[in-house]
Amino acid sequence: MLEEKYLLEELRRGNKAAFTLLFHKYYKDLVIFGGNFLHDKGRCEDIVQDIFLKLWTNHEEFEIDSSLKSFMLRSVQNSCLDELRHRKVVREHESYSEWVDFTDNNDTENYILYSDLKSSLDEALNKLPEVCREAFQMNRFEGLKYKEIAERLNVSERTIEVRIGKAIGLLRHYLKAFFVTFIALLWS
């Protein structure tokens, strides 16, 4: 703790060696900590580097009430959560853009079919057992791989395979009317 206070004081004075010591002391742990949120090592490294850059850029007026490590961990966590929120907004925008493209390029009949399918899909998803729905949505809508889902849910990869397989089977059953319609459209 005394060493950290000393390094912080030296950092405030603009001591590059103190900054380098702090960087080497915390960088790896902060990247690993960020991996708990993002599962993207490159992005975690970028976030940690940005935090250190802000620390150096604002070193003269930097005030830390808790320990530096606590401050840095909180900064990484907040940045990772910001990144996750940003990704969600991007996904929603992409989904909306796809929907707009779909409706712009198709006639009213196809729009109604898509609207009915979307509504039925939402209803069918709500009928799924929670664990199956969660795994299916993480895979299909968030783009996570089975291994990533298993790690996030703290279950085996095989369990995720079974849950998603069950979800697909139930969705096929719930949405069979749309399958027949889709086949009919292909042949018309």
Query: Where residue 22 sits, what CATH number does that domain have?
Result: 1.10.1740.10
pLDDT averaged per 10 residues in sequence order, the chain, 188 residues: 81 91 93 91 94 90 80 92 86 69 56 69 87 90 90 93 89 75 50
Q: How many helices (H) and strands (E) are present in the chain, helices listed first?
A: 9, 0
What's the pLDDT score for residue 120?
78
From residue 2, alpha-carbon distances to 9, 56, 60 in Å are 11, 20, 19
Q: Tens digit of pLDDT for each residue in 58-81? A: 888 877 777 888 889 999 999 999
CATH code: domain of residue 146: 1.10.10.10
For residues 137 and 125, is the Cβ–Cβ distance under 8 A? yes
Residue 99 lies in a domain: no
Same domain, 74 and 138: no
Same domain, 20 and 65: yes
Residue 154 lies in a domain: yes
For residues 132 and 163, is the Cβ–Cβ distance under 8 A? yes
Please indicate, yes or no, whether the overall pTM of this predicted structure exceeds 0.75: no
Q: Tens digit of pLDDT for each residue in 115-139? A: 667 777 788 889 999 999 999 889 9
Q: What is the CA radius of gyration of the chain?
A: 24
Q: List the domain range (segments joined by +) for residue 77.
A: 2-84
What's the pLDDT score for residue 96?
65
> Which of the listed residues 23, 51, 84 is the one where a domain comes to its end?
84
Number of domains, the chain: 2
Same domain, 73 and 120: no
Rounded to an integer, what distance in angstroms lies between the CA atom of residue 51 and that of residue 134? Answer: 33
Same domain, 58 and 120: no
What's the pLDDT score for residue 186?
44
Same domain, 50 and 113: no
